[in-house]
Amino acid sequence: MEKLDIKKENPYEVLRFFKEISNIPRKSGNERNIRNYLVKFALDRNLEIYTDKYYNVIIRKQSNTNINNQEYIAFQAHTDMICEKEIWSDHDFDISPIELLKDGDFIKANGTTLGADNGIGVAFMLALLDSSETNSLNLECIFTVQEETTMVGVKYIDTSIIKSKKIISLDNGKEGKMVINSANCMEWFGKINKKYINTTNLVTYELNFANFPGGHSGGDISDLKRGNPIKLGFDILSKLDDVYINSVSGGSAVNIIPRDFKIQFSCSKDSENFIKDEISILKNIYGNNVVIEIKKINNIATALSQNISQNIINFINSFENGALKFDKNNNQILSANFGAINEFNDYIRFDFSLRSNNVDFKESYINNLEQSIKENNIEIIWNQELYGFETNSNIPLVQKTCSLYKSLFKKDMELIVTQGVLEGGFFQNRIKNLQYICIGADTFDAHSPSERVSLSSIQRMWKFIKLLCKQEF
């Protein structure tokens, strides 16, 4: 692995912009500086620009051919990124640039998420706007914010000023695959109030899970080898008697598969050997790279009451997690992620989500979830629903994109259903007769410090995107 020298790599015209935006901290909700960068980019090139109070940006490049009634073709990406890092990293996402490394065919970051989701899409769009090859086109590039969290950007962008009726999203991390159906997503924060009691004559342990791969709660959830350490830890606790939770933490966000989990708990009898046997079983499944440890610690004088402890254990243990339903083509169409558990002053908070491409499956799952929430006295303190989208495979944008791909690469572009939640649902709901698809370059392990994007895939997709925007749809 070595430091990435973009002057030695192709396509330089794309990678130079990826490098520039990687120097700008852009955690979801902190997009002001990347907005300022985009505004300057447009003004320096005398391009038409729109921005709003949410830091969305639209940049238009008008054709120099003076062809009347020439339609606009739009590309879209989000400027924010997920910010995850390795335990050893001291990276500060609020002020520090992402350090780009080259590892064979891949661009990676030094111990952090890379931001190729969706920075590489942003870089493609900037390269298109900057290129003389697009001077004869009416090009519209839409940069949205907070896609990774609230989707406030696409929710509130003024769609009345968008001129194109054809939007190509570049937020897909799978080359050669076109997303035509994305999931509806529901996200929740739940809480249970703390109530401590004094504890004596109990055996106290610390159970620690670390170094799990984590990943994207939509794109990676079907990979059983990733595991969910929160679920695995509480599965062990559910097999013990008289458990009192002393402290607990794990995971980081509702849309990220957890990489770590730690809990201190007490119980009435020595269970160390039993727990070690359970750990051995897990190590055989998840490999020796993960950390799963149990150790006795000094008895802690207070713990959550047994009733509250048991409610927490029951709720998390009953939570149906992972890839749950598939269609006849083996597309994943229902999944859930228990993303985080963390303590606050007076309560413990749970972050969890559901993704569904099927209304009946969604409603059945929610009915069971609501029953568990009620039985275990969980209070919901925040929730949101993010809309999926569905595109007819026979529309011109789909057909001509697939035809171009096949003529260029001599293989079919695959039309896919994804559990990823994309912004197309919000655009479709607000722009009449919109044609919307999603493509992109190969990106792996998004939402984790292992995130990487393929250089050769960027090269192929750059060639493809330049030709695609010149098509008549």
pLDDT, tens digit, 9 for 90 and up, residues 247-272: 999 999 999 999 999 999 999 999 99
pLDDT score, position 138: 96
pLDDT score, position 67: 66
Where along the chain do its domains lie?
Answer: 2-183+388-468, 186-386
Q: What's the rounded Cα separation, in Å, for the pair 471 and 23?
A: 33
For residue 408 the two structure tokens come to: 């260029």
pLDDT in tens, 315-345: 999 999 999 999 998 999 999 999 999 999 9
pLDDT score, position 415: 96
pLDDT score, position 219: 85
pLDDT at 70 over 90: no
pLDDT band of 470, cuts 50, 70, 90:
very high
Q: What's the rounded Cα separation, in Å, for the pair 260 and 185?
A: 24
* In 324-395, alpha helices (H): 359-375
Task: Could you please state the CATH topology (level 3) that the domain comprising 2-183+388-468 is classified under.
Answer: Aminopeptidase (3.40.630)
pLDDT at 160 over 90: yes
Tracing tokens 């009345």 back to the chain, one arrives at 160
Q: What CATH number should be reported for the domain whose range is 186-386?
A: 3.30.70.360
**Alpha-carbon torsion (155, 160, 136, 21), positive or negative:** negative
Average pLDDT over residues 12-41: 98
Q: Which residue has the higher pLDDT, 387 or 349?
A: 349
pLDDT at 388 over 80: yes
Average pLDDT over residues 284-291: 95
Q: Which one, of 221, 202, 195, 47, lies nearest residue 134 by Cα?
A: 47
pLDDT at 299 over 90: no
Average pLDDT over residues 398-408: 98
DSSP string, 380-438: EEEEEEE---B--TTSHHHHHHHHHHHHHHSSPPEEEEESS--THHHHHHHSTT-EEEE
Residues in the chain: 473
pLDDT score, position 428: 94
Q: Which one, of 62, 66, 41, 63, lies nearest residue 51 by Cα?
A: 41
pLDDT at 420 over 90: no
pLDDT band of 291, cuts 50, 70, 90:
very high
Mean pLDDT score of the chain: 96
Q: What angle do CA 57, 115, 342 make, to 5 degrees?
A: 105
DSSP string, 49-117: EEE-TT--EEEEE--SS--TTPPEEEEEEE--B---B-TT----TTTPPPPEEEETTEEEESSB---HH
pLDDT score, position 279: 98
- Checking 365-374 for CB contacts under 8 A at 24+ apart, the result is 365/320, 365/324, 365/334, 365/336, 366/186, 368/320, 369/319, 369/320, 372/314, 372/315, 372/318, 372/319, 373/190, 373/315
* Residues in a beta bridge with 331: none
Cα–Cα separations (whole angstroms), residue 166 to 125, 143, 224? 15, 15, 37
pLDDT at 348 over 70: yes
Could you give the maximum distance between any two Cα atoms of the chain, in Å?
85
pLDDT score, position 66: 67
